[in-house]
Amino acid sequence: MIENEKVKNDRYNEYIFRSLLEHTDEGIVILSAEGKPLYISPAINKILGYTVEEAMKMDVFSLTHPNDILPLTKIMEKVLANPGVPMKGHTGQMLHKNGTWRWIESTVVNLLDDPAITGIVDNIRDITDKKNEERKLLHANQLYAFISQINQAIVRSANEQELFKEVCRIAVKFGKFKVAWIGIFDHYNKKMSLVEEAGMAPDDRPYFTNIPFGKKGAQDQVLCTGTYYTCNNVQNDLLINDWKPFAQKREYHSIITLPIKKGTEIIGTLNVYATEINFFHEQEIALLKEACGDVSFALDIFEKKAQRLRIEEALRKSESNLHAIIENSDASIYSLDRNLCYIVFNKSLKKSLKDVYDLEINTGDNVYDFLEKIEPLEARAWGKIYAKALLGETVKFEKEFSVGDFYSCISFSIYPIWEDKSIIGLSCFAIDITKQKQDIVQKEKMLADFMQRNKNLEQFSYIVSHNLRAPVANILGLADLLMTKEGIAEEGVLLEGIFNSVKKLDIVVSDLNYVLQVNNQVNENKEIVKFSNLLSDIKLSIDNLLRNEEVEIIADFSAVNEMLTLKSYVYSIFFNLISNSIKYRRPGIKPVIRINTAKDKKNIQLVFTDNGLGIDLVQNADKVFGLYKRFHTHTEGKGVGLYIVKTQVEALAGIITIESEINKGTTFRIVFET
């Protein structure tokens, strides 16, 4: 009987074990000391596409990528030398049944000495998706480094040959491309000449010298369309049939050819080769197009560099006539040549840069050197602004600057300087409009405050006309009955009715008095208030309620735990929001209240979230913070709490918002400026 039960249990355990193996995404392979499979779990089909029967006929090395055989051999030697020790196996590629390579990660343990196993147990996982994401991220970082270096090269290079050399070098070093080369078209002889390259074997250079075009190849596509040409699998591209054996031998699998222009004319191409198939996608192409656009822009500048001395001389003559006006202006004024180098600037600009950024500028300095120090992330955006002006457009805009506690708002006007129908430089004006902006903000704040006060007055008018009228009318009616003989027998009842009406009247008057006191108390002395201490005080004061209702309060003040404020107001805000969450809890659901803080450069944020009854905001969004507004009648309440919270938040120059769903809970978000 016992033996049958044991057999039954063993079969059940075996069934459970096999079921787990069939449904897990992780494969289990048991190998002999020679690497032959002794057991393979069904997950091998999910990972590599083979059936168990197919996989059992193979050995691990037949599926391993050639580049991974040596590392795998070393790992196996290490595993054999360390019986019973789990080891991280080699991470590499293995051949899928569909012909693709999948990235596999494994954990290996030598159990050859274990009589129950007598093999090497290899747990394998497919990490192809993870590897692909890592590769995409690496590509993105490489391309961003590439474009950043290209922009720096444009600023540093003295001529186009130097720039071409840097572009090719940067493409290989920072873009991690296999080869980059630049060719210039000779339209007369219908040939393209290699002018610069990087990554190319010396023996290959003759293949790229005097390349004929006009045969519907990659270069012709660029010339005819005016845009780039790309191929993500050289072996499948009909345009480059003659070139395929050469590319295959050198592992050029993806290529892109982009136009280089002077003005509107295509003068050459930038050619980039990658060893990966399907390398050039939308992101990579966009960055490479931008880089070529920047190079083309720089060539336009080099083309006109010979005019610089004459331009500078003309600007210096203009400077002598405008010097007095410039130096006596409240605006910061400066002029730039076509290379965006300072030609002249007034004392106002020099002083402001020194006072605010501790930077010295001199005639001849490039504006990018200045921009990269104070606004490195926006240097390219400024470049586009100046580029517009150099094309003849007058550019006007406003911009805010913040350095520590210093804040300013500047109005910029950038005008092209014309001479003989050519733009020879830029004239730039920067006017400090901080005070005007602050005045506008202050006026808007005053107007908003006025409108809010007017709204409050309207509410008080409504309350006086409705909430006070009812008890007063009741008192008058009861008093009138007392004046008649018929009321004498019911004198006690009437007096009780008058007393209750007076009590209601007193409650309304008390509520109104409390509300009116809110704005009057905001000028009290402010102090550093610690949110954690404040919450502890409130929890202590309502300890019985918290225990009776099994309320859980989860607080996280790690982002910010204190602020300079009016303690009584913040206490009231915390107390009212916590009380509301408890009062309007969902029946049968343990109340959970979460309070956390967040902080950025300008704001402190308080967030209160509960799992209570919630509010129908579709119907009541405009009534939530109104006085005497209630949304649940199953429990006592006056509808004053949220009105007080909003009034106190706004009295502290804050903003409160609400997010809520019926039977899902409510979130109040309060933002205070720091």
pLDDT tier at 497 (50, 70, 90 boundaries)? low
Residues 176 and 83 in one domain: no
Q: Choose between 456 and 279: higher pLDDT.
A: 279
Residues 294 and 155 in one domain: yes
Burial of 27 (0-12, 13-18, 19+ CB in 10 A): buried
Whole-angstrom distance, CA of residue 95 vs CA of residue 69:
12
Any idea which of 139-153, 345-359, 541-555 has the lowest mean pLDDT?
139-153
We report the CATH number of the domain holding residue 665 as 3.30.565.10
Mean pLDDT of the chain: 79
Residues 536 and 637 in one domain: yes
pLDDT digits (tens, 9 = 90+) for 412-454: 899 999 988 889 999 888 888 888 888 887 777 777 666 766 6
| DSSP states along 66-101 | GGGHHHHHHHHHHHHTSTT--EE---EEEE-TTS-E
pLDDT digits (tens, 9 = 90+) for 132-176: 777 777 767 777 777 788 888 888 888 889 999 999 998 888 888
Residues 43 and 148 in one domain: no
Task: Give the pLDDT of residue 561.
Answer: 93
Structure tokens given for 551: 């309320």
Query: Is residue 11 one of the residues assigned to a domain?
Result: no
The answer, yes or no, to whether residue 461 has pLDDT greater than 60, is no
Task: Give the pLDDT of residue 325.
Answer: 62
- Specify the DSSP class assigned to residue 604: E
Closest CA to 410 of 353, 456, 468, 360: 353
Q: What average pLDDT score do residues 181-193 get?
A: 87
Q: Which domain holds residue 507?
A: 438-521
Q: Of 93, 126, 159, which residue constitutes the final position of a domain? A: 126
Residues 274 and 160 in one domain: yes
pLDDT tier at 18 (50, 70, 90 boundaries)? low
Q: Of 430, 456, 481, which residue constitutes the final position of a domain? A: 430
Residues 151 and 290 in one domain: yes
Look at the block and give the residue holding tokens 């031998």: 249
Query: Is residue 326 one of the residues assigned to a domain?
Result: yes
pLDDT tier at 101 (50, 70, 90 boundaries)? confident
Q: What average pLDDT score do residues 108-128 get?
A: 86
Is residue 257 within 8 A of residue 219, CB to CB? The reply is yes
Q: What average pLDDT score do residues 630-651 get?
A: 66
Q: Of 261, 282, 303, which residue constitutes the final position of a domain? A: 303
Q: What average pLDDT score do residues 604-622 get?
A: 83
Task: Give the pLDDT of residue 153.
Answer: 84
Q: What average pLDDT score do residues 470-476 get?
A: 59
Please report, rounded to a whole number, the percentage of residues in the chain having pLDDT higher than 70. Answer: 77
Q: Provide the H-helix boundaries in 375-432.
A: 379-390
Residues 481 and 547 in one domain: no
Tell me the sheet residues that pair with 88. Answer: 107
Residues 386 and 286 in one domain: no
We report the CATH number of the domain holding residue 351 as 3.30.450.20
Q: What average pLDDT score do residues 126-135 get?
A: 80
The answer, yes or no, to whether residue 463 has pLDDT greater than 50, is no
Residues 504 and 410 in one domain: no
Task: Give the pLDDT of residue 15.
Answer: 47
We report the CATH number of the domain holding residue 248 as 3.30.450.40
Whole-angstrom distance, CA of residue 199 vs CA of residue 303:
28
Query: Is residue 4 one of the residues assigned to a domain?
Result: no
pLDDT tier at 630 (50, 70, 90 boundaries)? very low
Residues 72 and 218 in one domain: no
Task: Give the pLDDT of residue 595.
Answer: 95
Task: Give the pLDDT of residue 524.
Answer: 57
pLDDT tier at 264 (50, 70, 90 boundaries)? confident
Please report, rounded to a whole number, the percentage of residues in the chain having pLDDT higher than 90. Answer: 15
Residues 420 and 467 in one domain: no
- Which secondary structure element, helix H or strand E, spans residue 450, and what is its range? helix 434-466
Q: What average pLDDT score do residues 546-550 get?
A: 88
Any idea which of 22-31, 85-94, 506-515 has the lowest mean pLDDT?
506-515
Give the contacts of 569 (CB within 8 A, at least 6 positions apart).
518, 521, 522, 648, 651, 652
Residues 26 and 160 in one domain: no
The answer, yes or no, to whether residue 583 has pLDDT greater than 90, is no
In the chain, the number of structural domains is 5
Task: Give the pLDDT of residue 557.
Answer: 95
Give the contacts of 266 (CB within 8 A, at least 6 positions apart).
185, 222, 223, 226, 259, 260
Is residue 464 within 8 A of residue 378, CB to CB? The reply is no
Task: Give the pLDDT of residue 115.
Answer: 86
Query: Is residue 399 one of the residues assigned to a domain?
Result: yes
Task: Give the pLDDT of residue 401.
Answer: 77
The answer, yes or no, to whether residue 12 has pLDDT greater than 50, is no
Structure tokens given for 376: 């490195």
Any idea which of 462-471, 495-504, 605-614 has the lowest mean pLDDT?
462-471
The winner for highest mean pLDDT among 100-104, 283-287, 453-457, 621-625 is: 100-104
Query: Is residue 354 one of the residues assigned to a domain?
Result: yes
- Specify the DSSP class assigned to residue 394: -
pLDDT digits (tens, 9 = 90+) for 282-316: 878 888 888 888 888 888 888 777 566 666 676 66
Q: What average pLDDT score do residues 500-514 get?
A: 55
Phi-psi region of 165 (alpha: psi -120 to 50; beta: other; left: phi over 0): alpha
Structure tokens given for 89: 């196996």
Query: Is residue 8 one of the residues assigned to a domain?
Result: no
Any idea which of 231-240, 445-454, 541-550, 638-647 has the lowest mean pLDDT?
445-454
Any idea which of 216-230, 260-274, 467-481 has the lowest mean pLDDT?
467-481
Query: Is residue 6 one of the residues assigned to a domain?
Result: no
We report the CATH number of the domain holding residue 467 as 1.10.287
Query: Is residue 3 one of the residues assigned to a domain?
Result: no
